[in-house]
Chain A
Amino acid sequence: MNWDHRAPAAGSGTGAGMHSLTRLLPYARPYMWNFLAVLGLVVIFNTTSVLQPYLVKIAIDDDISVSHPSLHGVFIISLVYIAVVVVGVVANYLQILLLQYTGQSIVQRIRQDLFEHIERQSMSFFDERALGRLVTNVSSDTETVSQFFTQFFLSLIRDGLSVVMIVVAMFQLDTHIALECMIVIPVIFAISLLFRRQLRQRYQTTRTRLSNIVAFLAENLAGMRIIQIFRQEDRQARAFADLNGLHYRANVAEYRLSVMFNRSLELLGNVAVALMAWVGGTAVLHHAILFGTLYAFISYIRQFFQPINSITQQWNTLQSSMVAAERIGGVLRVQPAIVDPVRPARVKASRVRGRVEFDHVWFGYRDGQPVLKDIHFTVEPGQFIGIVGATGAGKSSIMNLLLRFYDPSRGSIRIDGVDIRAMAQADLHRLVGMVQQDVHLFTGTVLDNIRLFRDDIDEEQAIRAARTVGADRVIERLPDGYQTQLFAKGANLSMGERQLISFARIVALNPRVLVLDEATANLDSRTEAWVQRGLRAVAENRTTLVIAHRLSTIREADRILVLDRGRIVESGRHEELLRLDGYYAELHKKSGIEDGMQVYGLGPRMQRGNRGLLGPGARML
């Protein structure tokens, strides 16, 4: 699941990576006891492994290779041997499960925190980042980090402990010979040191080249249409072959070196055994030690090199977990640009009347490029406000600010006199709702999608909401009605059907203030009529701001704000603005609309005297 060799973040040297790993260590702290238990189990398992040659030694020295061999003794030893093995196997089994469980639990926590951390970020965070990268952070980088807690950690304690125990056992047997054996340790270090630098370099090269392949593939898969239309398949294939070849060569070079490294250690092991046979054999000859002792020493020295080899194999695991940890840390370090105040204003949704004020608001997505300039207006509770203007005039930004996706750079926005920055975001979003142009569905049933999986909206409320906006007829036509499974990507609903579900959603949530963003621009003319009926139901009894692309939509509005290049240039009722004979009047004249019949989006077939979006209903507001 993980392509952990993805683009190494710039500047993620070993130092930064190590630092990031240690920053994740607090996640391991609650599992201290688990790790200690694992340690204990490893000790038991290792003890049993170390005991095994020792038992054979006892059998040889005490029972077999003596003047009066005792079969009884051998029998006892064999039983003990089996008991030791069983204990060892059980300990090992428990250790595997416990460690995996611990590792998985830690990763689960990291994942959960990472996910919640990302969801807490303000919209500017998402503007700057590719979605795919974030998904990779959550799904595969965490997986790679888990290998640190399972594989690397395990290797470190199991193999480290093995080495220590073997050494201790050797000293127990014979201090003198054991001391002589210790010569291999500096040699091991020397060999490791010799290879380490090169190994790391080659590992990095391979990883970088693989990440080039990934980047190339990701880009070319996304742009396959372009390649095919411009008929550059051969050329791109050649480019890919080049990258692929570079990676292949680096990979082989890395592999060759690591084979050489491991074989050198093995050669050292063989040299050690030969030396042991020589030194030990001479000692046996001179009766300095028993033969069984020599046997044990030879076994130990062979065992000694297994954990050493295994630790060196974990080198790559450590490297890739450091890279992954660095990437996770990069996300976790970002503080949300918008946070709740320490002591949020108390807001009771039922008491809020829905008066919206923009008080000399300035805003820009980038410094020095204001999108909204000195926006100042007030919407009385229950009013219906239209916002018009050309693409890029700043209409959507008003919605973004009212929902606090971003904070204004100057000025303030108030609901019932309370600055929205003083409210908890959850409270604000209970008051203000939005309907977007594109509707997002979640994997789940229709019902789940209306109530957004929330507990505070029960099935009955959801169904009532669907009925209110007229979505029930559509839903009942679906194969399983409200229980029909929907998919985020699978387009098993048409645009209009999706839109109706989003209306039902907003009615179920029942906000006091509602912002509609070009909500019907996507609809085909056929579904337009029933969606408009739904909209009328949604807007009832709420303060409503509609970002309009069609003048007919807002004809009946209590007030129309005309935006031009980030400023409100005109404001008033439809008739007033016409009388003003300014920007809006010009817009209107050009549209050739006299009675709201011929409007963008209402194809000729729809010209049945539709009185605009809200029709007569708007009067009621």
Chain B
Amino acid sequence: MTVQFPHVLGNFTDALQARRLTGHSIAMYSLTLLAIGALYMVLYGIGQLMNGHLGRAFEYQLRERLFLHWERLSASYYHRRSTGDLLNHALNDVRAVREALSGGMNILFNAIFLLLSTLYMTFRTVSVKLTLVAIIPILFVPLFVVFFGPRLRDASRQVQEALSDVADLTEESLSAIRVVKATSNEAVEARRFRTRLNAIVARQMAMFRRSATFQSLIPLMGSISFAIALLYGGYLTVSGRIHLGEFVAFTLYLTMMIQPLQQLGFVFNNFQRASASLRRLTVLLTEQPDIADAPHPVQPGHIKGEVEVRLREYRYPGGNRAVLRQVQFHIPAGQTLGIVGRTGSGKTTLVNLLPRIFDPPPGAVFIDGIDVRDLALADLRQAIAYVPQDGFLFSTSIGENIGFSREAATQGEIEEAARLASIHEEIVDFPQGYDTLVGERGITLSGGQRQRAAIARALLKQAPILILDDSLSAVDMNTEKRILENLRRVRRGRTTIVIAHRLSAVRHADQILVLDDGEVVERGTHDELVAAGGVYASIYAMQEGGAVG
């Protein structure tokens, strides 16, 4: 549509020159121009909107797919990847692809269409010879694209890497801030930071040198074309072979071609970046979940909660050190097992093998005599309730957090679970009660409240097996006692595993394991272990002395 514009203007010029124009026909020409402009605007706008919608719908679906995919990946995956990096994928890479797709496509199609139709119009309405001669420099543009493409992509990747480097160093340095401060090493850290920053500047400049050259060459070619048109077209006009109107139209056509050419360069830059992003996303989406259902899962029927572990050795995926060795124990259904041991002795890893957060080797972990690997993940996890070490909560209301395990849980059930976890009274005292928002990761609650909310959440699930991973550490002694009493009552006949640093949490267990460096070094009941005078006894002495703990 817009390509008609110079044509009309050209006719207008010729008519004007030939003095064939009246006031009336001038107005007609103006109206034609206006109509063309308006129509173009509407059509272009519609195209833009369609493209924009398409791109945004794509963005929506890509994020959806990413999230669904992430939900299938296991803990060891999250062990390896930082949340920041994953967020980067979901935000920046997705956006880069969308921008290329919607804005880029739009400009690209527009530019290509403009170029082609402009060429067509020039061939048809203006001298073919003039067009052919003038177009020569523009023909170099594809060569530039081929030449600069990989170089631009490479430069852009290097910039991204340098930026990641800075983020990594910042994270590293700030995590070690105590060491840095204790050694007054701030200046040294600042120097290390500076060298990373210098790398960014150097790489950014290398990239801009390339992209600026690329983006300058295109208009340069366009302008040379224009100069040729001016010279050759001027010659043709002067020698009377074409009309001035044709000349005017042609120069206008050429200026119309320069802009799409510039845009092509810009879009091309974007595409290079987007293709790098798309590659990153593809890598992410093709990651196979390493913990998945067995091909033919066993139908367990009703799970009673008997647990048997016969583990020879466990290493983390890709790890070269065995974190658990020769761990063997048996929990009859309905009994309570206590596990104690130092940080890093393997307690958490051990209980994570049960719900297959980490995957045990075949023939090592059994529930009701069935290898957990042979159960469908849904059945397996349905049978286990878990209270994590950090009492992880979502930033919803405290009621929603407790009801997390069952969407259909009634308020009554939620309150009952909260009562069992000794947190109901405190929740009721909050101004918003159960609707109190707990903030990012439960930050508005105290450590003890977080842990008790997490316990309530697990109790609501009423699973045959309950795992408490050191989840009473921030709760004071009296409350701990109350919770433990409640647990003994409601968990009667159901299996419970309690990891603890504080022995008071395990002293009533039917069986206690003492873990050291991935091995069971002592086992027995509280009384037996104290009497044995081993590791357990010494921890007990230390802690009982510390009374309030």
- Annotate A136-149 by CB proximity to B: 1 below 8 A, 0 otherwise: 10111001000000
**B238 close to A (CB within 8 Å):** yes
In the complex, are the beta carbons of A139 and B231 less than 8 A apart?
no
Interface locus among B56-64, B299-307, B420-428, B504-512:
B56-64
Given contacts A97-B209, A119-B189, A592-B533, contact A219 B33 (CB under 8 A): no
Give bound CA distance, A582 to B441, whole Å: 42
What is the number of residues of chain B that contact chain A, defined by CB distance less than 8 Å? 157
**A135 close to B (CB within 8 Å):** yes
Give bound CA distance, A228 to B291, whole Å: 11
Given contacts A89-B220, A277-B30, A593-B538, contact A231 B378 (CB under 8 A): yes
In the complex, are the beta carbons of A123 and B546 less than 8 A apart?
no
Q: How far is the CB of A251 from chain B (nearest CB, A)?
A: 5
Within 31-72 of A, Cβ neighbours of B (below 8 Å) are at 52, 55-56, 59-60, 63-65, 69-71
Give bound CA distance, A215 to B357, whole Å: 24
Interface locus among B47-55, B124-132, B145-153:
B47-55
- Annotate A243-275 by CB proximity to B: 1 below 8 A, 0 otherwise: 011011001100110011001001101110111
Closest chain A residue to B517, Cβ basis: A524
- Annotate A216-259 by CB proximity to B: 1 below 8 A, 0 otherwise: 01111111111111111101110011001101100110011001
Which B residues are in CB contact (< 8 Å) with A233? 71-72
Checking A74, A96, A100, A104 against B235 with a beta-carbon cut-off of 8 angstroms, the contacting residue is A74
In the complex, are the beta carbons of B516 and A119 less than 8 A apart?
no
Please report whether the interface of chain B is mostly helix, strand, loop or mixed according to DSSP. helix
**B288 close to A (CB within 8 Å):** no
In the complex, are the beta carbons of B231 and A221 less than 8 A apart?
no
- Annotate B1-25 by CB proximity to A: 1 below 8 A, 0 otherwise: 0000000010011001100011100
Which A residues are in CB contact (< 8 Å) with B171? 131-132, 135, 488
Q: How far is the CB of A510 from chain B (nearest CB, A)?
A: 11
In the complex, are the beta carbons of A443 and B169 less than 8 A apart?
yes
**A495 close to B (CB within 8 Å):** yes
Which A residues are in CB contact (< 8 Å) with B231? 74-75, 78
Give bound CA distance, A131 to B173, whole Å: 10
Interface locus among A110-118, A158-166, A535-543, A572-580:
A110-118
In the complex, are the beta carbons of B87 and A218 less than 8 A apart?
yes
In the complex, are the beta carbons of B71 and A434 less than 8 A apart?
no
Interface locus among B113-121, B179-187, B491-499:
B179-187
Q: How far is the CB of B155 from chain A (nearest CB, A)?
A: 13
Interface locus among B192-200, B361-369, B429-437:
B192-200
Interface locus among B222-230, B328-336, B478-486:
B222-230
Most B CB contacts (10 A, CB to CB) among A405, A589, A603 go to A603
**B353 close to A (CB within 8 Å):** no
Closest chain A residue to B198, Cβ basis: A108
In the complex, are the beta carbons of B220 and A225 less than 8 A apart?
no
- Annotate A379-418 by CB proximity to B: 1 below 8 A, 0 otherwise: 0000000000111110000000001010000000000000
Which A residues are in CB contact (< 8 Å) with B419? none
Checking A221, A247, A434 against B86 with a beta-carbon cut-off of 8 angstroms, the contacting residue is A221
Which A residues are in CB contact (< 8 Å) with B213? 93
Q: How far is the CB of A150 from chain B (nearest CB, A)?
A: 10
Interface locus among A191-199, A425-433, A458-466, A468-476:
A425-433
In the complex, are the beta carbons of A405 and B71 less than 8 A apart?
no
Give bound CA distance, A589 to B522, whole Å: 21
Which B residues are in CB contact (< 8 Å) with A393? 546
Give bound CA distance, A1 to B40, whole Å: 37
In the complex, are the beta carbons of A260 and B45 less than 8 A apart?
yes
Interface locus among B243-251, B278-286, B410-418:
B243-251
**A285 close to B (CB within 8 Å):** yes
**A134 close to B (CB within 8 Å):** yes
10 closest residue pairs by CB, A with B: A390-B546, A270-B37, A590-B541, A591-B541, A587-B545, A524-B517, A74-B234, A440-B176, A278-B30, A274-B34
**Besides A119-B181, A440-B176, A440-B178, 11 new A-B residue pairs in contact (Cβ under 8 A), listed by A number:** A81-B226, A85-B226, A230-B381, A230-B457, A248-B59, A259-B45, A281-B30, A282-B23, A392-B548, A426-B184, A453-B191
6 cross-chain CB contacts under 8 A: A74-B235, A81-B223, A81-B227, A135-B171, A223-B394, A603-B517
